[in-house]
């Protein structure tokens, strides 16, 4: 093994969190930072020729090559796990920028009570028992503490939107149910698509409070506090699963990398596959990786930061033998617990006018949060947490969307009758959706698979995950509201998504996988402290949605970035001056 | 070295094909009288006939517009199977291969090439049957991995960028009013509300004025 010269900080993962940590550390200290990214380099100019649905949205050319590494899944500890052989329910990215390149840009804040959910429930329900398999925890940080970091993340990306709660003052047209914001959004909302206009009217007719979905896809040209300028969105409709060809969608490569490129104390190494964090006596010593030529390399470092997405953060710690793996039977151990995804329901609404749905932007849409959290819920509903409702004009492409027909109109999904019906309804099918909080449970967790391995022979991560009756009730609750909403759109026909069954890896449900390296107020119940510093190995930091004890109803990226800013502040302002445990 | 196989088609059935040879050279085949011979990369001529006939039943050419034949879907599938996708370069193929629950999706060992070869074998004399009997035969295999792949690939071949070998002459996109990749809808997104915006479609190459290679052209 080749041993390199030590550096101050080695960061595993060149996506949003890794590059943001690198930017903050290299901008505010003289420390040397090396980022290891196993995928290729990526840049805006590459993306002009990638507006190809087949290669990028269907064959998933920007994603991790699942042939080299995947995860296994089982529904319960009693089952045998099978490998996820092709991408399905979530899409891990690879290359510089990671999943932050191919995301949609939707940038919701979480509700304040999400961060203190265990406390919130104690206050709301007193001693009334909750289902005992719940593993919900406080995050160890409050919304109020995180608010300035949310604002910095929004400024960094230039999020387009409209505030609904400015320092306690409620504003019509914004999300009046959100936590108080210190500032209006950096840029105004995106333009309104036809579908957005229809949805807003339907929601208002039903008495809800629709607002424009906050977008990291700029509504107008914008220069962020780092001096990075990006143009307004062109509504080309190639966001999700694509990189932005003009840089309107905030991505690590167009927002963070240009800042880092000027830093002499920053080094980015692509094609480097991290396999282990080496450690001794409660101290991380460096990262062992396989380099582009297949050679094993040890990069010693004073501090190690894991920023390699939820699943790989957890797996690297398990493979490295750092921390106590969670045991679901006894409830002992913390590493790997509180695996969550996202609860959803949807409806196809068949309208009488064309939508030009190929026009759009990844986060162009309208949402309402009247039923988010549990403000509108009581225990008798059997639903503990709700979610938000939205429609999106994200850019329909024909391979993925052609063929929708109203229930009963075509007997089969091929042949002349189907073709006729599908052509008649082409571009008249709107999607509306419900996105609910997925609570954490004792029985949903991650560990290492005993059977399957990656291309280097390292054991794969095993997900033990299934929906419970609660998620089925949540989805049914959301589906009921969606049915009313669909009717209010004046449809010719409606197709509701089927009831939530067992967790499936075959259907895309969002790349919102959380937990495994959760944050919290005590080392007995969490892996990292509220600054994302490892409780037992203080020169190891683990950033990303792996830190979420449970998820919120909104897309996680903005919260991930806010937590990363907070971690970076603690690192720069306190840890770099006096390395050691912050708590 | 495999024997060169060709798909022979009536030229007037084609929308005007932009094809790429294995060397990556573009060859444009325009609709004309007589027949065109398209070099095949994976299928034999007989296999291509069976697949083309099956795709035509999935997305038929009829009074509602062109279908799989005119768009050259079989050529699209031939190129996909010849490329890395056909060999499962992007699927996890480590064993053990164990039957699993339906929620885990296809767990088999066979790659798309092998699935097609076996499926085509089972279809037998399919290409020579009357349409009604062809439909019956496809209905009988609707639940198989092969058929589901064939259906998905037919739609892909109809509506993917012509650089991949299907959607000849962009007639798949014309059929459904999809304009192809468009660099900006800034001026249209909030103007065409409830009104169709249906420009003449353009391919990625026409839009970017750059030659773009599909993933299937990747050699390993």
| A153 within some domain | yes
pLDDT band at B33 (very low <50, low <70, confident <90, very high): low
> Helices in A489-570 by DSSP H: which ranges?
557-570
Mean per-residue pLDDT for A38-45? 95
Known catalytic residues of A? 512
Mean per-residue pLDDT for A379-401? 95
| A1 within some domain | yes
* Cβ of residue B62 closer than 8 Å to a chain A Cβ: yes
* Cβ of residue B114 closer than 8 Å to a chain A Cβ: no
- Which residues is A12 bridged to in the sheet? A36, A306
Q: What is the pLDDT of residue B88?
A: 97
CA distance A346 to A409: 20
pLDDT tens-digit readout, A443-474: 999 999 999 999 999 999 999 999 999 999 99
Q: What is the pLDDT of residue B38?
A: 87
Q: What is the pLDDT of residue A241?
A: 97
Q: Do B85 and A59 touch (CB under 8 A)?
A: yes
Best residue in B153, B189, B213 for a mutation probing chain A (most A CBs within 10 Å): B189
Q: Do B208 and A399 touch (CB under 8 A)?
A: no
Q: Do B58 and A414 touch (CB under 8 A)?
A: yes
Mean per-residue pLDDT for A534-559? 97
Measured between alpha carbons, how far apart are the two ends of chain A, in Å?
Answer: 36
Mean per-residue pLDDT for A384-394? 97
* Cβ of residue A59 closer than 8 Å to a chain B Cβ: yes
Contacts with B210 from chain A: Cβ below 8 Å:
48-49
pLDDT tens-digit readout, A315-332: 999 999 999 999 999 999
Q: Do A67 and B85 touch (CB under 8 A)?
A: no
Contacts with B156 from chain A: Cβ below 8 Å:
54, 58, 399
Closest Cβ opposite residue A506 in set B103, B142, B210? B103
pLDDT band at A183 (very low <50, low <70, confident <90, very high): very high
Chain mean pLDDT for chain B: 90
Mean per-residue pLDDT for A531-535? 98
- Is it the case that residue A337 has pLDDT exceeding 90? yes
* Cβ of residue A400 closer than 8 Å to a chain B Cβ: no
- Is it the case that residue B32 has pLDDT exceeding 60? no
Closest Cβ opposite residue A235 in set B164, B189, B215? B189
Say if CB A112 and CB A179 are below 8 A apart: yes
Mean per-residue pLDDT for A419-429? 96
Coarse DSSP helix, strand, coil percentages of chain B, rounded to the nearest 5 percent: 45, 10, 45
pLDDT band at B24 (very low <50, low <70, confident <90, very high): very low
Q: How far is A555 from chain B (nearest CA, A)?
A: 24
Say if CB A253 and CB A15 are below 8 A apart: no
Best residue in A59, A238, A490 for a mutation probing chain B (most B CBs within 10 Å): A59
Mean per-residue pLDDT for A506-527? 96
CA distance A550 to A530: 14
Q: How many residues does chain B have?
A: 220
Give residues with Cβ within 8 angstroms of B43, minimum separation 6. B5, B7, B51, B74, B77, B78, B81
| A335 within some domain | yes
Chain mean pLDDT for chain A: 97
pLDDT tens-digit readout, A55-66: 999 999 999 999
Q: Which two tokens stand for residue A27?
A: 């901008």
Mean per-residue pLDDT for B69-82? 96
Give the full edge-to-edge strand order of the sheet including A337-340: A82-83, A71-74, A459-464, A445-453, A337-340, A514-516
Q: Do B103 and A60 touch (CB under 8 A)?
A: no
The nearest alpha carbon in chain A to B157 belongs to A399
Q: Do A398 and B92 touch (CB under 8 A)?
A: no
Say if CB A537 and CB A322 are below 8 A apart: yes
Q: How far is CA A581 from CA A10, A283, A314, A537, in A?
A: 18, 11, 21, 8
Give residues with Cβ within 8 angstroms of A201, minimum separation 6. none
Q: Do B59 and A412 touch (CB under 8 A)?
A: no
* Cβ of residue A376 closer than 8 Å to a chain B Cβ: no
The CATH number of whichever domain residue A123 belongs to comes to: 3.50.50.60
CA distance A77 to A16: 33
- Is it the case that residue A160 has pLDDT exceeding 80? yes
What is the β-pairing status of strands A296-306 and A2-3? Answer: parallel
Q: Which residue has the tokens 């890395």?
A: B84
Q: What is the pLDDT of residue B84?
A: 96
Range of the domain at B201: 5-217
Contacts with A360 from chain B: Cβ below 8 Å:
185, 189
Three-state DSSP at A44 gives helix
Range of the domain at A133: 1-44+91-157+269-339+446-465+511-583
Q: Based on the structure, what is the number of domains in chain B? A: 1
Q: What is the pLDDT of residue A128?
A: 76
Contacts with B100 from chain A: Cβ below 8 Å:
80, 82
Mean per-residue pLDDT for A8-37? 98
Q: Do A398 and B142 touch (CB under 8 A)?
A: no
Q: What residues of chain A, 271 to 310, have a C-beta less than 8 Å from chain B? A: none
Find how far residue A567's CA is from the centre of its chain: 18
Closest Cβ opposite residue B178 in set A75, A398, A505? A398
Closest Cβ opposite residue B90 in set A52, A65, A358? A65
Q: What is the pLDDT of residue A99?
A: 97
Q: What is the pLDDT of residue A126?
A: 84
Mean per-residue pLDDT for A330-344? 97
Percent of chain A with pLDDT over 70: 100
| A461 within some domain | yes
Q: Based on the structure, what is the number of domains in chain A? A: 1
* Cβ of residue A194 closer than 8 Å to a chain B Cβ: yes
Q: How far is A193 from chain B (nearest CA, A)?
A: 5
The nearest alpha carbon in chain A to B66 belongs to A419
Q: How far is B19 from chain A (nearest CA, A)?
A: 17
Q: What is the pLDDT of residue B9?
A: 73
pLDDT band at A130 (very low <50, low <70, confident <90, very high): confident
Chain A and chain B share a number of CB contacts under 8 A equal to 193
Q: What is the ipTM of this complex?
A: 0.96
Q: Do B177 and A48 touch (CB under 8 A)?
A: no
Angle between helices A16-28 and A557-570 (to 10 degrees): 30
pLDDT tens-digit readout, A216-248: 999 999 999 999 999 999 999 999 999 999 999
Q: Which residue has the tokens 């004792």?
A: A442
Q: Do B196 and A427 touch (CB under 8 A)?
A: yes
């Amino acid at each position: 093994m080749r041993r390199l010269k030590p550096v101050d900080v080695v960061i595993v993962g060149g996506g949003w969190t890794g590059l943001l940590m690198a930017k903050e550390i290299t901008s505010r200290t003289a420390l040397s930072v090396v980022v290891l990214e196993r995928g290729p380099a990526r840049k805006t100019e590459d993306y002009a020729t990638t507006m190809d649905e087949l290669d990028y949205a269907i064959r998933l050319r920007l994603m991790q090559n699942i042939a080299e590494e995947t995860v296994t899944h089982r529904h319960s500890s009693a089952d045998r796990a099978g490998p996820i052989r092709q991408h399905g329910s979530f899409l891990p990215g690879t290359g510089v920028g990671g999943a932050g390149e191919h995301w949609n840009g939707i940038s919701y804040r979480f509700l304040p009570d999400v961060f203190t959910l265990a406390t919130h429930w104690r206050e709301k329900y007193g001693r009334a028992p909750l289902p005992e398999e719940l593993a919900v925890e406080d995050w160890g940080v409050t919304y109020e503490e995180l608010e300035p970091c949310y604002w910095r993340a929004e400024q960094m990306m230039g999020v387009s939107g409209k505030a609904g709660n400015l320092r306690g003052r409620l504003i019509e047209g914004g999300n009046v149910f959100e936590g108080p914001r210190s500032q209006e959004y950096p840029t105004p909302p995106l333009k309104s698509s036809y579908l957005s206009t229809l949805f807003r009217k339907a929601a208002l007719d039903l008495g809800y409070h629709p607002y424009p979905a906050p977008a990291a896809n700029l509504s107008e040209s914008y220069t962020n506090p780092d001096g990075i300028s990006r143009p307004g969105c062109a509504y080309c409709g190639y966001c999700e699963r694509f990189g932005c060809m003009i840089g309107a969608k905030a991505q690590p490569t167009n927002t963070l990398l240009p800042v880092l490129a000027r830093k002499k104390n920053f080094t980015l190494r692509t094609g480097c596959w991290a396999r282990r964090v080496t450690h001794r006596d409660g101290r991380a010593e460096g990262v062992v990786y396989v380099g582009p030529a297949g050679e094993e390399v040890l990069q010693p470092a004073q501090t190690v930061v894991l920023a390699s997405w939820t699943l790989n953060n957890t797996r690297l710690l398990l493979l490295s033998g750092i921390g106590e793996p969670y045991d679901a039977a006894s409830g002992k151990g913390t590493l790997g617990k509180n695996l969550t995804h996202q609860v959803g329901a949807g409806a196809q609404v068949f309208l009488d006018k064309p939508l030009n749905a190929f026009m759009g932007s990844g986060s162009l849409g309208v949402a309402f949060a009247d039923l988010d959290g549990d403000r509108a819920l009581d225990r008798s509903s059997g639903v503990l947490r709700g979610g938000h409702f939205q429609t999106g004009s994200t850019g329909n492409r024909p391979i993925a969307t052609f063929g929708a027909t109203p229930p009963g109109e075509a007997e089969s999904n091929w042949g002349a009758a189907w073709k006729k019906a599908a052509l008649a309804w082409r571009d008249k099918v709107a999607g509306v959706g419900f996105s609910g909080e997925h609570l954490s449970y004792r029985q949903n967790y991650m560990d290492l698979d005993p059977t399957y391995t990656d291309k280097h022979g390292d054991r794969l991560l095993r997900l033990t995950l299934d929906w419970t009756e609660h998620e089925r009730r949540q989805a049914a609750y959301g589906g009921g509201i969606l049915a009313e909403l669909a009717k209010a759109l004046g449809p010719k026909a409606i197709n509701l998504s089927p009831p939530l069954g067992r967790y499936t890896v075959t259907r895309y449900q969002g790349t919102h996988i959380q937990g495994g390296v959760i944050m919290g107020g005590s080392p007995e119940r969490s892996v990292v402290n509220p600054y994302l510093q490892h409780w037992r190995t203080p020169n190891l930091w683990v950033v990303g949605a792996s830190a979420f004890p449970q998820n919120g109803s909104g897309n996680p990226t903005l919260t991930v970035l806010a937590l990363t800013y907070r971690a970076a502040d603690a690192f720069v302002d306190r840890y770099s001056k006096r390395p050691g445990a912050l708590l | 070295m495999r024997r060169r196989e060709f798909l022979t088609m009536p030229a007037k059935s084609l929308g005007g094909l932009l094809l790429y040879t294995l060397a990556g050279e573009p060859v444009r085949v325009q609709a004309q009288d007589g027949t065109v011979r398209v070099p095949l990369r994976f299928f034999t001529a007989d296999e291509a006939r069976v697949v083309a006939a099956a795709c035509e039943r999935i997305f038929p050419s009829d009074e509602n517009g062109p279908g799989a034949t005119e768009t050259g879907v079989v050529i699209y599938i031939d190129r996909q199977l010849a490329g890395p996708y056909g060999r499962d370069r992007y699927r996890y193929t480590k064993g053990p291969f164990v039957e699993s629950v339906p929620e885990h999706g296809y767990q088999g060992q066979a790659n798309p090439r092998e699935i097609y070869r076996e499926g085509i074998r089972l279809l037998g004399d399919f290409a020579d049957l009357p349409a009604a009997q062809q439909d019956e035969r496809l209905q009988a295999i609707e639940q198989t991995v092969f058929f589901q792949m064939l259906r998905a690939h037919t739609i892909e071949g109809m509506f993917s960028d012509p650089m991949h070998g299907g959607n000849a002459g962009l007639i798949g996109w014309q059929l459904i009013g999809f304009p192809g990749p468009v660099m900006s809808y800034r001026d249209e997104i909030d103007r065409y509300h409830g009104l169709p915006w249906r420009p003449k479609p353009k391919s990625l190459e026409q839009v970017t004025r750059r030659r773009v290679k599909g993933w299937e052209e990747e050699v390993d």
